[in-house]
Amino acid sequence: MTRTRKPRASAERPLELRLLADMLRIRRMEEKCAELYGAGRIRGFLHLYIGEEACATGAMHALAADDNVVATYREHGHALLRGVGMDAIMAEMFGKAAGCSRGRGGSMHLFDVARRFYGGNAIVGGGLPLAVGLALADRLQGVRRVTLCVFGEGAMAEGAFHESINLAALWQLPVLFCCENNLYAMGTALARSESQTDLCAKAASYRVATFRADGMDVRAVFDTVSRAVRQVREGGGPAFVELQTYRFRAHSMFDPDLYRDKAEIEEWKQRGPIHSLSAQLKAEGRLDEEAFLALDAEAEAEVAAAVAFAEQAPWEPVADLLKDVHTPAGAAAGGTP
Amino acid sequence: MAEINLVEAVNLALAHELARDEAVVLLGEDIGANGGVFRATVGLQQRFGAGRVVDTPLAETAIVGTAIGMAAMGLRPVAEIQFSGFLYPAIDHLINHAARLRNRTRGRLTCPLVVRTPCGGGIHAPEHHSESPEAMLAHTPGLRVVMPSSPARAYGLLLAAIRDPDPVMFLEPTRMYRLFRQEVADDGEALPLDVCFTLRGGTDLTLVSWGAMLHETQAAADALATEGISAEVIDVATLKPLDLPTILESVARTGRCVIVHEAARTAGLGAEIAAGLAEEGLYSLLAPVQRVTGYDTVMPLSRLETQYLPSVERIVAAARKTLEAS
Ligand SMILES: Cc1ncc(C[n+]2csc(CCOP(=O)(O)OP(=O)(O)O)c2C)c(N)n1
Ligand SMILES: [Mg+2]
């Protein structure tokens, strides 16, 4: 039996190891979700982030605890790294009442208001005006805070993108528009969707600062998003970041993935963010295989516990079917935390 | 004649019209090379070319708005919206323009547009992927709202929708896409719009429904038959304009009516039908009209979905109630 070295408590680790550990947490959680989907434990839709982990990891680490985050339906990783517990995420995937959206959101609508995670969003482009509104409210209420709004490149073809970034720029609101450009919107390649495939150029036409990073390199994402966040936080108005990335899996569990060249997928897989970072850290003498396996085991253990939690969690009682459509008379406005 | 399911019937009708009429153009997200999320347009771009089966970016507002312009120029666009929850960004153009073009120009311009979109729950998907927006659409003067409930009616009604000179919202019950197969001849014969279809005759009560709920409604009629109760089953099919005379005629014979729909109850089309019966058929009613519907809530995630959707048991119970009342 091989003994795994006990890893250092996560908070004391150097940043690179925390980034690596978090990418592993997302990866292992999602691999398990895919398995549970196959087994019929998770139903409906499931959009995996596998291959793109460096984006959420670098970006979420660049934020302050108090910042707002708005995401898309491919948001499992973002939610996890904003501090939504894996237990609560997994229970939500199952549709259980212990989930972070109390079983009504599912994989596409993870929410955690206490952590200022304003949701996954099943509507492409749906989160963009919301993010602008959060930022405007912060300004009106005298709070200095950054709102990070994550979306795919497909959303940039929706009217909501243009209306939102224009408002944010016009009113100089503290929004960081963060585009995860994985080159495809379902089966539609970027060039078949955008007249301007240089997404930074497109955003720049609204007179916002633009940044671009290799979305397969978590350190590059962290550095770039950190710079962008700093500029927005210091009152420089909104900014736009393009993270160039790739999803290794199909769009969703229903997608036969016939629109991409297998060779293209394989090529990108060579640049897998977890593999890249761990290889770099090993080359730099800051990680060995044993330490890597320890981090991985830690992630696996967290996933196993989350699944056990979700499995035993109770279903929402049928009596609650009609609850929370309207605020009950006498309840505080603004809802329950 | 081939046995096909509902989504294949949609494909067959689209192919028939693309071949028959050069003015027919399909547009939507991933409908071409990819064949559509539900594969309703599979093979059509290969067969008719990228100029007739057009892949668009993610832009529902522009898809529908552009299709209205095309229709005003005499083309017959058929737009696909991947799920009816994604229709809402396009509602502006449907309500403000498609529905009013004819009226605004006093008939000088018409809008022969079809918007196809899957609707309804039962596929374990939350919210936007399980919407039943038919009443909202039907409330808009100028929009025709059609929902098939079998492969044969999907084929015949879609042909009619494409040939119709005015905008038609063609709502395809997702749960029925692959539920059963039926022989459908590709004969280009359209079914009439604006009329109900009586699916089975009966003498004791009338069950009125549309779309996927006809599956449960027919099963309820079967269950009632084992108790010796004879239920007539009507598929409304065109929800706007509503063929009230067919329903009135049936209820004049049976004296009892249960309306079944999966959309939320309040201001649903069941209320419209019940109001029509109250206004014009009250004296033939032997019992109060019953509605079996979804609830006034957002479609819940998979587990509670079965509680939300009207069940055979709920329909049978409502039917019994009308029989006990007299
Ligand atoms: C308004 C709207 N239209 C269509 C869809 C269906 N849909 C879901 S994801 C998706 C592709 C989005 O691509 P992108 O924005 O690039 O994000 P990615 O999936 O690549 O992360 C589509 C078309 C939707 N959810 N919402
Ligand atoms: Mg994309």
Percent of the residues in chain B that have a pLDDT greater than 90, as a whole number:
94
CA distance A68 to A79: 12
Contacts with A154 from chain B: Cβ below 8 Å: 57-58
A79 belongs to a structural domain: yes
Q: Are strands A175-181 and B231-235 parallel, antiparallel or unpaired?
A: unpaired
pLDDT in tens, B199-248: 999 999 999 999 999 999 999 999 999 999 999 999 999 999 999 999 99
- pLDDT of B132 over the 90 cut: yes
Maximum Cα–Cα distance across chain B: 61
Pocket mutation for ligand 1, best pick of B84, B86, B115 (most atoms within 8 Å of C-beta): B86
- pLDDT of A111 over the 90 cut: yes
What is the distance in angstroms between the Cα of B78 and the nearest Cα belonging to chain A?
A: 20
For residue A158, give the ligand 1 atom closest to its CA: 1
Of B129, B139, B215, B261, which is the active-site residue?
A: B129
pLDDT in tens, B241-295: 999 999 999 999 999 999 999 999 999 999 999 999 999 999 999 999 999 999 9
Q: Do A158 and B61 touch (CB under 8 A)?
A: yes
Q: Are B111 and B117 a contacting pair, CB within 8 Å? A: no
A306 belongs to a structural domain: yes
- pLDDT of A336 over the 90 cut: no
pLDDT of residue A333: 60
A119 belongs to a structural domain: yes
A51 belongs to a structural domain: yes
Q: Do B61 and A321 touch (CB under 8 A)?
A: no
Q: What are phi and psi of B140, to 5 degrees?
A: -95, 110
Percent of the residues in chain A that have a pLDDT greater than 90, as a whole number:
88
CA of A203 to the centre of ligand 2 (A): 16
pLDDT of residue B302: 74
Beta carbons within 8 Å of B264's beta carbon, 6+ residues apart: B132, B293, B294, B295, B296, B297
pLDDT of residue B61: 98
A185 belongs to a structural domain: yes
pLDDT in tens, A253-286: 888 898 999 999 999 999 999 999 999 999 999 9
Residue with tokens 């709070």: A143
CA distance A39 to A22: 26
Cis peptide before A7 (omega within 30 of 0): no
pLDDT in tens, B154-197: 999 999 999 999 999 999 999 999 999 999 999 999 999 999 99
Q: Do A106 and B126 touch (CB under 8 A)?
A: yes
- pLDDT of B7 over the 60 cut: yes
pLDDT of residue B300: 86
What domains, with CATH codes, occur in chain B? 3-183 (3.40.50.970), 197-324 (3.40.50.920)
Instruction: List, edge to edge, every strand of the sheet that includes B231-235.
Output: B197-200, B231-235, B205-209, B257-261, B290-293
CA distance B317 to A156: 50
Q: Do B58 and A188 touch (CB under 8 A)?
A: yes
pLDDT in tens, A126-149: 999 999 999 999 999 999 999 999
Interface of B with A (CB under 8 A): 29-30, 33-34, 37, 55, 57-62, 85-86, 88-89, 123-129, 295-298, 300-304, 307-308
Domain range enclosing A198: 18-310
Contacts with A322 from chain B: Cβ below 8 Å: 295-297
Q: Is the dihedral of CA A164, A170, A174, A176 positive or negative?
A: positive
Contacts with B301 from chain A: Cβ below 8 Å: 44, 95, 103-106
CA distance B87 to B28: 12
Q: Do A186 and B89 touch (CB under 8 A)?
A: no
What is the distance in angstroms between the Cα of B117 and the nearest Cα belonging to chain A?
A: 15
pLDDT of residue A334: 54
- Residue from the list B59, B298, B302 with its beta carbon closest to the beta carbon of A43: B302
Q: Which of B144, B246, B143, B250 is nearest to B193 (CA)?
A: B144
Is B215 considered catalytic here?
no
Ligand 1 pocket by Cβ (under 6 Å): A 74, 122-124, 152-155, 182, 184-186, 251; B 29, 58, 60, 82, 86, 89
pLDDT band of residue A8 (cuts 50, 70, 90) is low
Beta carbons within 8 Å of A292's beta carbon, 6+ residues apart: A20, A278, A282
Range of lowest pLDDT (A9-18, A79-88, A174-183): A9-18
Q: Which one of the ligands is nearest to A187 CA?
A: 1
Burial A293-302 (b: 16+ CB within 10 A, else e): ebbbebbbeb
**CB atoms inside a 10 Å sphere around CB B191:** 20
For residue B128, give the ligand 1 atom closest to its CA: 25
Number of A to B CB contacts under 8 A, please give it: 102
Q: Which one of the ligands is nearest to A47 CA?
A: 1
A325 belongs to a structural domain: no
CATH code of the domain covering residue A303: 3.40.50.970
pLDDT of residue A7: 58
For chain B, the three-class secondary structure string (H helix, E strand, C coil) is CEEECHHHHHHHHHHHHHHHCCCEEEEEECCCCCCCCCCCCCCHHHHHCCCCEEEECCCHHHHHHHHHHHHHCCCEEEEECCCHHHCHHHHHHHHHHHCCHHHHCCCCCCCCCEEEEEECCCCCCCHHHCCCCHHHHHCCCCCEEECCCCHHHHHHHHHHHHHCCCCEEEEEEHHHCCCCCEEECCCCCCCCCCCCEEEECCCCEEEEECCCHHHHHHHHHHHHHHCCCCEEEEECCEEECCCHHHHHHHHHHHCCEEEEECCCCCCCHHHHHHHHHHHHCHHHCCCCCEEEECCCCCCCCHHHHHHHCCCHHHHHHHHHHHHHCC
Percent of the residues in chain B that have a pLDDT greater than 70, as a whole number:
100
Contacts with A194 from chain B: Cβ below 8 Å: 57
Q: Do B85 and A122 touch (CB under 8 A)?
A: yes
A327 belongs to a structural domain: no
A11 belongs to a structural domain: no
pLDDT in tens, A201-252: 999 999 999 999 999 999 999 999 999 999 999 999 999 999 999 999 999 9
**CB atoms inside a 10 Å sphere around CB A57:** 30
CA of A107 to the centre of ligand 1 (A): 14
Q: Are strands A239-244 and B76-80 parallel, antiparallel or unpaired?
A: unpaired
pLDDT of residue A332: 67
Pocket mutation for ligand 1, best pick of A46, A124, A182, A254 (most atoms within 8 Å of C-beta): A124
- Number of domain units in chain A: 1
The closest residue, in CA terms, to atom 8 on ligand 1 is A124
Predicted-complex ipTM score: 0.93
pLDDT of residue A61: 98
pLDDT in tens, A17-38: 999 999 999 999 999 999 999 9
pLDDT band of residue A337 (cuts 50, 70, 90) is very low
pLDDT of residue A6: 56
pLDDT in tens, A296-335: 999 999 999 999 999 999 998 999 889 999 998 877 665 4
For the entire predicted model, the pTM comes to: 0.96
pLDDT in tens, A57-71: 999 999 999 999 999
Test the B interface: residue of A193, A197, A327 with most B CBs within 10 Å = A193
Q: Do B58 and A125 touch (CB under 8 A)?
A: yes
pLDDT of residue A1: 40
- pLDDT of B40 over the 80 cut: yes
**CB atoms inside a 10 Å sphere around CB B261:** 29
pLDDT band of residue B126 (cuts 50, 70, 90) is confident
